[in-house]
Amino acid sequence: MACEFYVLMVKRADGNTYCDLHKTTGKIYATREDAEKGFGVNAGRKYYKVVKIIGMLGAEYDDLTHGRR
């Protein structure tokens, strides 16, 4: 089963979003609301944006893609 979580990710100058977890604040939030509150202790909306990420176990991904990567 996949689950969603949210991170505060550095805004890219070109506007694109990539799954660059090393460019986050290092915190994972369970809800969008919690992530929005995270702006209060970080550099703020000028530099970060809330990004939803879907995660699943590797075995589940393999089942979903029938073993193809």
Give residue 22's domain range. 3-64
Predicted local confidence at residue 17, as pLDDT: 82
> Residue 28 falls within a domain, yes or no?
yes
Query: Does residue 16 come out as left (phi exceeding 0), alpha (psi in the -120 to 50 range) or beta?
Result: beta
> Residue 69 falls within a domain, yes or no?
no
* pTM of the predicted protein model: 0.77
Query: Does residue 45 come out as left (phi exceeding 0), alpha (psi in the -120 to 50 range) or beta?
Result: alpha
Q: What are the tens digits of pLDDT across the range 20-51? A: 888 898 999 999 999 999 887 665 778 889 99
> Residue 9 falls within a domain, yes or no?
yes
Predicted local confidence at residue 68, as pLDDT: 63
| Selection from 43, 52, 54, 53 nearest residue 10 by Cα | 43
Q: Number of folded domains in the chain? A: 1
Q: What are the tens digits of pLDDT across the range 46-68? A: 888 999 999 999 999 898 888 76
